[in-house]
Amino acid sequence: MNETIERILAHRTVRDFEDRTLSAEQIETIVRSAQAASTSSFVQAYSIIGVTDPDKKRELAKISRNQAFVAENGHLFVFCADLHRHDVIGKMEGKDVAASLESTEKFMVGIIDAALAAQNAALAAEAMGLGICYVGGLRNDLEKVRDLLKIPDKVLPLFGLAVGYPTCINDQKPRLPFEHVYHENEYQQDDEVYKSQLEQYNNVITDYYVERTGGERSDTWTSQMAEMLSHPQRMYMRDFVEEQGLNKQ
Amino acid sequence: MNETIERILAHRTVRDFEDRTLSAEQIETIVRSAQAASTSSFVQAYSIIGVTDPDKKRELAKISRNQAFVAENGHLFVFCADLHRHDVIGKMEGKDVAASLESTEKFMVGIIDAALAAQNAALAAEAMGLGICYVGGLRNDLEKVRDLLKIPDKVLPLFGLAVGYPTCINDQKPRLPFEHVYHENEYQQDDEVYKSQLEQYNNVITDYYVERTGGERSDTWTSQMAEMLSHPQRMYMRDFVEEQGLNKQ
């Protein structure tokens, strides 16, 4: 197996970083790697904001439920779906692009473009021996994030990517069974097979927790997920996204 | 520079493949690579459908504006945002997860999770010496895609990923200027700087086309984008997504 695939399969989340900032060259390599990703019809519908200001980082850490690593890392990137540039382009070229930019289709394109770019960035960072953690917690309060980073209309911050020199590397959590995620020619139609795969996975996850915690924790994946999802989170999102001028029609 | 970063930076789209299918082992490595990507709060909100049935592939190619490579490739993966499994889990665990699953927040999570996984898959394929092309054209008619692949409620096909042995490799199109995509501490506030970066990029793109076509084509990026976006595409998307039970609240 080659180096790239080994690296992909070895991914682990890092939430503890040395107090050592990334160099300008490292940041540039990470961003250029992000830019090399595919983009839908060449629209390049994303932007990346690097946050170095310590006050802003502290604010972003607070928003992310006080996760210290959001402030303390080698560099914090914020990935945004971005159709603001296309709004400017419409004006430059005298074309009416409003309906396109407000569409759910283009909202999806912006999210997909940003995420493809982010995963390239994450892998490039890991290839340099750095660790990474995505920060979905920014979505706890996007209004604050928007104000803090002076984000214009038609741009939506999606998540952070904290990068740095790892001091502590987490274990790799086992993923869903291959057969449960990968379907052939049609989505799995047999409910019993589908549920038995989830139960099989529950055993794997329970074993994982029991082993890691000396038996103190033994929950299943389905109980975790059901508990989490029974408390709806970030229900302001639909209105906020529309307020930013996206996902409106 | 190491192998992984070189590979990321060397990405080129491939739309012409040998008549040679991927092995089961190659498919498994690609899917396991996808699964190794980060996932928001461990929800793993995506599924991948491998399409091998020639009739289905022909139908998907038709939907994608008759792009031949959608039918003729080594393997066609379809990446879906998937909250169906969490719906099943809610029932298994006797918890009400409806509001979560219908939220714009979780719709975004499903898209992000699927795209992160897809980019890992794309890079793993390229690391094996294969070529890839994303197929956003599936979104031309997701109702047909849904029926063809028997996709349940709360699942949304996002794009295809055609993979195979390349016969012809495209040039690499220059990306937006680094400074235009990467902002520091706040989104670029100076409109004149912002526009001048776009104009600088227009020159790069015009040069690229002139050189490639011996002067026959000389359009700019902003004119391309404005023209494309002035014809709203796939405006059925918002209703369709809601019909699938996503992005509703």
Best mutation target, B86, B108, B109, B189, to test chain A (most A CBs within 10 A) = B108
Q: What is the dihedral of CA B248, A62, A73, A45, to 10 degrees?
A: 30
The pLDDT > 90 percentage for chain A reads 94
CB A152 within 8 A of CB A101: no
Q: Looking at the predicted complex, does its ipTM rise above 0.95?
A: yes
pLDDT at A25 over 90: yes
Tens-place pLDDT, residues B132-153: 999 999 999 999 999 999 999 9
Tens-place pLDDT, residues A42-59: 999 999 999 999 999 999
C-alpha separations of B191 from A150, A152, B180 in Å: 13, 11, 11
Residue B160's closest chain A neighbor by CA?
Answer: A40
Among B66, B34, B65, B185, CA closest to A48: B185
Out of B28, B36, B105, whose CB is closest to A8?
B36
Tens-place pLDDT, residues B168-181: 888 899 999 999 99
pLDDT score at B1: 65
Tens-place pLDDT, residues A109-145: 999 999 999 999 999 999 999 999 999 999 999 999 9
pLDDT at B110 over 90: yes
Segment B10-34 shows an average pLDDT of: 97
Assigned token pair, A179: 């057969």
Q: What's the one-letter identity of residue A27?
A: I
In the stretch 100-129 of chain A, residues with CB closer than 8 A to chain B read 100-101, 103-106, 108-109, 111-112, 115-116, 118-120, 122-124, 126-128
Tens-place pLDDT, residues B224-233: 999 999 999 9
Assigned token pair, A206: 């329970």
CB B133 within 8 A of CB A10: no
Gap between the Cα atoms of B54 and B72, Å rounded: 9
CB A115 within 8 A of CB A160: no
pLDDT score at A171: 87
- The domain segmentation of chain A, as residue ranges, is 3-171, 178-218
A191-213 and B84-93 helices cross at what angle (nearest 10)? 70
CB B59 within 8 A of CB B148: yes
Segment B35-47 shows an average pLDDT of: 97
pLDDT score at A54: 97
The pLDDT > 90 percentage for chain B reads 94
CB B192 within 8 A of CB A156: no
Gap between the Cα atoms of A50 and B184, Å rounded: 5
pLDDT at A1 over 70: no
Is A24 in the B-facing interface, judged by CB distances under 8 Å? no
Is A233 in the B-facing interface, judged by CB distances under 8 Å? yes
- Domain A3-171, CATH: 3.40.109.10
Contacts of A106 in chain B (CB under 8 A): 229
User: What is the count of residue pairs from A and B with beta carbons less than 8 Å apart?
Assistant: 352
Report chain A's terminal Cα–Cα distance, integer Å: 46
For the sheet with A75-82, list strands across it: A131-135, A155-164, A75-82, A46-51, B182-184
Assigned token pair, B165: 């042995």
Out of B155, B180, B247, whose CB is closest to A104?
B247
pLDDT score at A232: 98
- The residues near B213 (Cβ < 8 Å, ≥ 6 apart) are none
Segment A62-79 shows an average pLDDT of: 97
pLDDT score at B218: 85
- Rounded to 5°, angle at Cα A46 from B103 and A104: 40
- What count of residues does chain A have? 249
Gap between the Cα atoms of B157 and B111, Å rounded: 10
Question: Given pLDDT bands bounded at 50, 70 and 90, which one contains residue B217?
Answer: confident
Among A94, A157, A13, A29, CA closest to B39: A13
Question: Given pLDDT bands bounded at 50, 70 and 90, which one contains residue A162?
Answer: very high
- Give the closest-approach CA distance of B178 to chain A in angstroms: 7
Tens-place pLDDT, residues A221-244: 999 999 999 999 999 999 999 999
Chain mean pLDDT for chain A: 97
